[in-house]
Amino acid sequence: MRKDLTISIDAMGGDNAPEIVIKGVEYYLKHEGKNRDVRFLLHGNKGVLSPLLKKALLTKNCSDIIHTEKLIEMDAKPSQALRRGKNSSMWNSIASVKDGVACVAVSAGNTGALMAMSKLQLRMKVGVTRPAIVATWPQKNNWCVVLDVGANIECDALQLTEFAILGEAFYRALHKKNKPSVGLLNVGTEELKGNAVIKAAHERLSNGHLNLNYKGYVEGTDISNGNIDVVVTDGFTGNIALKTAEGTAKLIGYFFNQALFGNLWSKITTFANSYSLLRLKRQIDPRRANGGVFLGLNGIIIKSHGGTDHIGFANAVGVALDLAESSFMSEIDISLNMLHENGVEGSNK
């Protein structure tokens, strides 16, 4: 099997797996991956997966199933997952990347377990103290990325600096922008704002030797409304921001549907403006941003939201393929070498 475009899938991970996972792969191949020669290596119970594949007519692209009856529960603690999870669908999906059989793995399973297993099997890149999860965020005319969004509840100045390096390299590789802008999330843009960790990270990131297009402090409104490509924060703040944005998008979607289909007249006007309204609905759809990436590991792991539907999972598959075809890993190596060659790692202030 070619490694080039072989995607390893934890078919049993997620709130509604494996049905949503298989439907997600099917949706991706029908709508986005028609011209891509990609194969999916599925990890899970063959007796359950085979009928789903036949129903979805995916036996050509997903003929390879690595059978296991073990799966990681969504509420399992990372320590429990490590003790009991070897040879589970999640473990095996990561192992395929480690062994070079696949170029990237995708799972909608337990986030803590996925991170713990990924760190154990793939190890972190030299010089990275902690991996981070990066999420893509829609803006008015573009996309930005935010990290960390959940892997590290508490971070020091060095880790925030590393996140900036990782996020900048990720954006450069995926969005083909030579000098993406970088901002540090804070409670204000004034120099005096922020705690000691934020101020120390700001000082490090202002170091011209890092060769970053660093713009300084940014606020929460800049994530969606600003011109910043990479927003750096700790996992506690980032995860709250992400979940808040997703909830807001869903609420807007609800109000949107109520306004469009609440009565006969609104239905008539909705039909008349259907093209523009459908385009708007797609723009605010949070499923388009599904697919967080673990940065800092010796391999590419994509985390899909556990409760997503097939369209959201399809988007995570698309992120996986885009990264597989990019210079993502080499870009990160170059940036990390620059970080440590200039002695920025030092001791934390």
One DSSP character per residue, 70-129 reads ----TT--HHHHHHH-TTSHHHHHHHHHHTTS-SEEEE-S-HHHHHHHHHHHH-BPTT-S
List beta partners, residue 104: 7, 300
Residues 135 and 258 in one domain: yes
CATH of the domain at 283: 3.40.718.10
Do 78 and 199 belong to one domain? no
Reading the chain (349 residues) residue by residue, the pLDDT tens digits are 445 689 999 999 999 999 999 999 999 988 876 677 888 999 999 999 999 988 887 766 676 899 999 999 999 999 999 998 899 999 999 999 999 999 999 999 999 999 999 999 999 988 788 889 998 888 777 888 999 898 888 899 999 999 999 999 899 888 888 899 999 999 988 888 889 999 999 999 997 778 899 999 999 988 888 789 999 999 999 889 888 887 877 787 777 777 666 666 555 555 545 545 455 455 555 556 677 899 999 999 999 988 889 999 998 999 898 888 888 888 888 877 776 666 555 433 3
CA of 281: how far to CAs of 31, 134, 256, 310, in Å? 18, 24, 8, 17
For the chain, what is the mean pLDDT? Answer: 84
Domain assignment present for residue 308? The answer is: no
Is residue 304 packed enough to be buried (19+ CB in 10 Å), middle (13-18) or exposed (0-12)?
Answer: buried
Domain-embedded: residue 319:
no
Residue 189 sits in the same domain as residue 77: no
**Percent of the chain, pLDDT > 90?**
46
**Number of domains the chain is built from:** 2
pLDDT tens-place string over residues 89-105: 999 999 999 999 999 99
Structure tokens at 202: 């700001």
Residues 135 and 275 in one domain: yes
- Mark which of 89, 122, 155 sits at the end of a domain: 122
The residue segments making up the domain with residue 33 are 1-122
Task: Dump pLDDT digits (tens) for 233-247.
Answer: 999 998 898 888 878
